[in-house]
């Protein structure tokens, strides 16, 4: 992979729900919607308004009297410092992508550290114009109204509306009406399933709209509809007699806005931001305007060559569904996996507010990569006039889970050898002695887990064990430690969830852990993950920082009645706890006992043998 000259991250992204043509957003100008999403994205990022260096917004149709000022007016309405510059960009359907590309370029040349990049489009407010009257007309001249919406959707160079280019590409590549309708149905079905599961909630900011019933929060895409192959098959052709393009298999004319916060690596560190994705690269390519829908094909191929990656590396792919026929051709020509492409529906369902769609794709792609814990995402779009645009994102929260007992495990050796050299495992938040690690590694290798990033760097670890029997059989979290650079990414939560899964497979009734009563942050995290305050242990932590501990528990599925959370004593003393649960009962071994522990682990866990041999010989050397 050939990365950009410097790291560029996206630290937040929000969009409006998309309004149908003449629907709930019809009275919101592009500037209104742009301000809403820019504010929401900035708030989600945690960036101070004083640290924003630039604002870039895409817009195609100047639908309001002040739309020419879009980016600048968004900047001023937000109350950003007066010196912050702004720029509106227009690459038609690629404008939402282009705003992010321009933001990344500003960062790479050192002009900015934090940029708000977005796209906003009101197709409902597209104006009608009377042309050739500014300097007077002849007596009796017939003046005609020009629909700027239809003009935007028509390429005068080829003398055809966008819908006819979709017909041309269908004919050229042999796409049938049924194939187009199948793509459309897939889009609608996937959107509905994703919406029912709440997959869009994290990316959508509610917009207050006025209706006949009063004011309401608009937060669900308005264009999607219930449909079937039978319903789609009855729709008439829209652009030519006997054609395959219909209102049902073309993208919706809609209103909406989307924005992301693009940040440099310096900004991420200086402002303690949480990067959601890293921008790996982008590419824009021209193509035959008569089949403009093919645009993503050369754009994606050029991008893969530029960054030295392969389409097989992509875990998720988004192709803007301008038309079902062109989407089908792009999928075929790039040999895309349908199960990885537009997994939650696309523009046929959601709609296609021109300058917004590319940005919307990026916002959804980064949230979906993180939700699925996948690594790489590819977003793309065709562009009227004959262009294609594509961008690759990398999930910075992509954690690979590796059991320390596995053959592939190298991080274990690093932990053990670092301890053997009497070095602290900084910047981990909690470390123990070599003996302690070895004990857990040999006794409970399947409950000693680490998280590493895609570069193999240690992010954190969790040590646990299984103890008790019968209905008291439970998993215990002995230690969970996360590198300070990877906090606020949910790493600790994922580590604990992984240990819970192991405990559940052992038919444990619950998982428990101890935490200082003063550590409210940790307590709140555990509470949010379903742990209950089971009891208080008086003086559990001894020494210079003596303090009580909360014994927190989470019932596992086998404990249907949650009896494990019922206690008759809300506070106990350490001497009332089982020996293995007492703080400081950290069993130790001597160097002479290493071989015995390794031999025991190899007998009880065959996959452990090779790794422990590596550790042992490294210690001996």
Q: Which residues are catalytic?
A: 93, 382
- CA nearest neighbour of 121 among 165, 150, 164, 90: 90
Q: CA–CA separation, 616 vs 613, rounded Å?
A: 5
Tokens encoding 239:
């652009």
How many residues are listed for the chain in this entry?
A: 621
Tokens encoding 196:
């029912």
* Beta strand residue intervals within 422-493, DSSP E: 448-452, 458-467, 474-482
Q: Are the beta carbons of 73 and 360 closer than 8 angstroms?
A: no
427 preceded by a cis bond (ω within 30 of 0): yes
DSSP 3-state of 88: strand
The single residue listed with the structure tokens 């690759």 is 392
CA atoms within 13 A on the CB side of 252: 26
DSSP letter (8 states) at residue 204: B
Q: How many CB atoms lie within 10 A of CB 204?
A: 22
Q: Which residues contact 463 (CB under 8 A, 6 or more apart)?
A: 432, 437, 440, 444, 447, 448, 477, 478, 479, 480
Q: Are the beta carbons of 461 and 437 closer than 8 angstroms?
A: no
Q: How many CB atoms lie within 10 A of CB 31?
A: 25
Q: CA–CA separation, 373 vs 367, rounded Å?
A: 10
Rg (CA), the chain: 29
Q: Which residues pair with 20 in a beta bridge?
A: 254
The single residue listed with the structure tokens 């690594």 is 375
Phi-psi region of 132 (alpha: psi -120 to 50; beta: other; left: phi over 0): left
């Amino acid at each position: 992979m050939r990365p950009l000259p410097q790291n560029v991250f996206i630290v937040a992204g929000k969009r409006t729900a998309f309004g149908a043509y003449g629907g709930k957003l019809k009275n919101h100008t592009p500037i209104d919607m742009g301000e809403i999403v820019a504010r929401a994205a900035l708030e989600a990022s945690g960036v101070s308004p004083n640290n924003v260096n630039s604002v870039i917004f895409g817009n195609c149709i100047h639908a309001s009297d002040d739309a020419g000022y879009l980016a600048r007016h968004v900047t001023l309405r937000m109350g950003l410092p007066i010196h912050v510059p702004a720029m509106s960009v227009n690459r038609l359907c690629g404008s939402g992508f282009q705003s992010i590309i321009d933001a990344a370029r500003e960062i790479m040349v050192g002009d900015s550290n934090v940029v708000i990049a977005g796209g906003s489009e009101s197709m409902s407010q597209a104006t009608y114009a009377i042309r050739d009257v500014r300097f007077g007309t002849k007596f009796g001249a017939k003046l005609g109204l020009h629909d700027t919406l239809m003009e935007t959707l028509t390429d005068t160079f080829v003398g055809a509306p966008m819908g006819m280019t979709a017909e041309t590409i269908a004919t050229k590549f042999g796409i049938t009406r049924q194939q187009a309708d199948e793509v459309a149905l897939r889009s609608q079905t996937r959107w509905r399933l994703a919406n029912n599961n709440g997959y869009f909630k994290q990316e959508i900011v509610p917009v207050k709209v006025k209706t006949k019933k009063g004011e309401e929060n608009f937060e669900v895409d308005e264009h999607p509809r219930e449909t079937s192959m039978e319903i789609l098959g009855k729709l008439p052709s829209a652009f030519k007699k006997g054609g395959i393009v219909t209102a049902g298999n073309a993208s919706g004319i809609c209103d909406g806005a989307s924005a992301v916060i693009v940040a440099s690596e310096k900004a991420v560190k200086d402002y303690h931001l949480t990067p959601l994705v890293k921008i790996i690269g982008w590419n824009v390519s021209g193509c035959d305007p008569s089949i403009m829908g093919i645009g993503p094909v050369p754009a994606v191929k050029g991008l893969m060559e530029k960054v030295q990656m392969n389409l097989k590396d992509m875990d998720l792919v988004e192709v803007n569904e301008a038309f079902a026929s062109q989407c089908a051709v792009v999928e075929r020509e790039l040999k895309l996996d349908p199960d990885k492409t537009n997994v939650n529906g696309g523009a046929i369902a959601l709609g296609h507010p021109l300058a917004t769609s590319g940005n919307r794709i990026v916002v959804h792609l980064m949230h979906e990569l993180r939700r699925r814990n996948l690594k790489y995402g590819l977003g793309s779009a065709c562009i009227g006039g004959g262009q294609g645009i594509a961008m690759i994102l990398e999930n910075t929260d992509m954690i690979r889970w590796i059991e320390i007992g596995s053959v592939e495990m190298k991080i274990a050796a690093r932990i053990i050898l670092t301890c053997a050299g009497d070095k602290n495992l900084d910047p981990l938040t909690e470390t123990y002695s070599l003996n302690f690690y070895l004990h857990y590694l040999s006794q409970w290798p399947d409950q000693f887990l680490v998280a590493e990033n895609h570069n193999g760097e240690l992010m954190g670890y969790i040590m646990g064990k299984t103890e008790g029997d019968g209905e008291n059989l439970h998993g215990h979290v002995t230690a969970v430690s996360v590198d300070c650079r990877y906090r606020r990414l949910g790493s600790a939560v994922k580590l604990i969830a992984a240990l819970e899964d192991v405990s559940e497979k052992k038919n444990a009734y619950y998982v428990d852990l101890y935490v200082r009563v003063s550590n409210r942050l940790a307590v709140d995290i555990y509470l949010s993950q379903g742990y209950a305050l089971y009891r208080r242990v008086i003086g559990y932590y001894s020494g210079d920082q003596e303090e009580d501990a909360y014994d927190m528990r989470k019932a596992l599925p086998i404990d249907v009645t949650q009896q494990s959370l019922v206690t008759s004593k809300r506070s106990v003393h350490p001497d009332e706890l089982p020996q293995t649960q007492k703080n400081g009962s950290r069993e130790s071994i001597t160097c002479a006992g290493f071989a015995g522990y390794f031999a025991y682990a190899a007998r009880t866990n065959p996959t452990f043998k090779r790794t422990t041999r590596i550790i042992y010989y490294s210690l001996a050397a």
